[in-house]
Chain A
Amino acid sequence: MKHIHRLLLIAFFFTSLTPAFASVSDDHEPETHQVSHEKKKFEPGNFIMDHIADAYDWHVFSYGDFHFTAPLPVIVYSNNSGFHIFMSSNFHHGHSSYKGFELAKDGEYRGKVVEMVDGHQVRPFDISMTKNVMAMLISMIFLLWIFLSVAKTYRRRKGQEPKGLQAYLEPIIVFVVDEIAKPAIGEKKYKKFVPFLLTIFFFIWLNNLMGLVPFIPGGANVTGNITITMVLALFTFIITTVNSNKNYWKHIFNTPGVPWWLKFPIPLMPLVELMGVFTKPFVLMVRLFANITAGHIIVLAFISLIFIFGEMSPALGMGTSVLSVAFVIFMNVLELLVGLIQAYVFTFLSALYFGMAVEDEH
């Protein structure tokens, strides 16, 4: 019970920081408009999308005209000009092109690196270390550091009571093993899947939390990125398929307890079941992506309200900000819960799929 209290306290500490910094770091968009000296209207749609989407640099803070952004390496391979590695600072926040590459301002590839070939935007093969990739790598290092050190503590303090970080994480590890892996997969076969379930649970949860922190090393929308969730779901799919037994495929192609005319001559049931094999991980991918992205959109929408009303009159903007910040705090606390729930749901459903794959015939 005490550990849960401590965890909540830590989590609360993080959220309590969020709204204050969110409003600071998020207002660079209107400032850039001022730099270009044209009184462009504030576009909440673009503002929100730019914050949710991936980026080639990592914005830290802006003060007036001064933008402090961490440049990230751009790694592209183009059929025309070959392989290039350069820092994203060469784009000057998208204002200039470099070696024929530039950030697309609009169109299909808005915000992405494109090469201008005969006046057309051509997307090169792009393996840049973007903001999401960097944030993901940082969280991976965090993950490795945390659990390798905790594992070391376990080896050193064999049979003794948990201590320090170990004490914080043990109830959660035990929860994943006892409440997710065991009931979903079954007492006999759960052991094999525990490492994967623990890894995705902590990866998703950590990134959900870091996504709520509005400054480096947080601030990136890692678990709200469809590519990231796609890889996670792909791993679940691969592990499910690799470990599937005969009974699993029998349930798909010759579902027991279903009238024969649903299987022959038109194999309706097998088709539906086979589709299910692919929709299950697909749903995992979309659920995590949508939940986290939605939370970020709502937070950013409340922030946008300040600028929308601020454009009408500064006083109105000030008034709105009080309400908006209150809502943002509420949303962040909610997101804290959602972050944990989504990590739990992804892990639990993965465990259920593994359980189906290895289930024996009754």
Chain B
Amino acid sequence: MGLVNPELGTFIWMFIAFASVFFLLKKYAWPSIVDAIEERNDSIKEALLSAESAKEEMAKLQADNQKILKEARRERENMIKEAKELGEQIVREAKSKATEEAEKVVESARQAIESDKTAALSEIKAQVASLSVQIAEKVLRRQFADDQQQKDYFQELMKEVKLN
């Protein structure tokens, strides 16, 4: 049975050939192939992970943006409300101030009128007094005979007095 008997010649050739091919492939082929595959696998894994994290980051960013936008909108509303209030308040204050001012002006006008009136009255009083004195002087300078004459004369004097 030649089929199951190993041949020394074939054995030697096979041993040398296999050993050298194994050595050459081990040195020049397999490490670069296996390492390259592993490296690529790692880089793909890493890329996937980073893509995932980027996606998360993006989602977070978007959520943040949404939040910021919402906040800004709220802020704006607040600001508008405040501004409106402030405006109303200013108007209110201005109104009250104006009223006050007007009252003050009226008051001072009234006081001025009052003081003018008293001044005028006191002047009238003074004039009346001086007129009375003049009249009395004139009456005293004339000698009256009777009462009637005196009365008439008095009447005449009175007519002369003019309130000016």
**A76 and chain B: residue at smallest CB distance:** B9
Q: A140-B17, A203-B18 are in contact. List 5 more A-B contacts (CB 8 A).
A: A144-B21, A147-B29, A155-B36, A195-B30, A198-B25
Contacts of B39 in A (CB 8 A): 158-159
Q: Return the CB mask of B9-25 against A: 1 if under 8 Å, else 0.
A: 11111110111011011
Interface size class of B (residues with CB under 8 A): 20 to 34
Q: B7: which of A49, A54, A137, A159 is its contact (CB, 8 Å)? A: A54
What CA separation (Å) do A144 and B26 show in the bound complex?
11
Question: Is there a chain A Cβ closer than 8 Å to B8's Cβ?
Answer: yes
A158 touches B14 (CB 8 A): no
Query: In the bound complex, do residue B34 and residue A177 qualify as a contact, i.e. CB atoms below 8 Å apart?
Result: yes
Residue of A nearest to B18 (CB): A231
Give Cα distance in the complex from A56 to B144, angstroms.
Answer: 197
Interface of A is mostly: helix
Q: Mark B50-80, 1 if CB is under 8 A from A, else 0.
A: 0000000000000000000000000000000
Q: What are 22 A-to-B residue pairs whose CB atoms are below 8 Å?
A: A49-B2, A52-B3, A53-B3, A54-B7, A111-B2, A127-B12, A133-B10, A133-B14, A144-B21, A148-B28, A150-B29, A150-B33, A154-B37, A159-B39, A173-B37, A195-B26, A198-B25, A198-B30, A198-B34, A226-B3, A231-B11, A231-B18
* Contact for A133 among B13, B22, B40, CB less than 8 A: B13
A293 within 8 Å of B (CB atoms): yes
Chain B residues lying within 8 Å of A143, measured Cβ to Cβ, are 21, 25
| Residues of chain A contacted by B34 (CB below 8 angstroms) | 173, 177, 194, 198
A-binding residues in B (CB < 8 A): 2-15, 17-19, 21-22, 24-26, 28-34, 36-37, 39-40, 43
Which residues of A are found within 8 Å of B12, using beta-carbon distances? 127
Flag if B33 contacts A227 (CB, 8 Å): no
By size class, the interface of chain A is 35 or more
Q: Which residues does chain B contribute within 8 Å of A289, judged by CB atoms?
A: 4
A127 touching B9, Cβ below 8 Å: yes
Q: Contact check, A137 vs B17: say whether CB atoms are below 8 A apart.
A: yes
B2 engages A228 (CB within 8 Å): no
- A interface list, Cβ under 8 A from B: 49, 52-54, 75, 109-112, 125-130, 132-133, 136-137, 140, 143-144, 147-148, 150-151, 154-155, 158-159, 170, 173-174, 177, 194-196, 198-199, 203, 225-228, 230-232, 234-235, 289, 293
Contacts of A154 in B (CB 8 A): 32-33, 36-37
Shortest A15–chain B CB gap in Å is 25
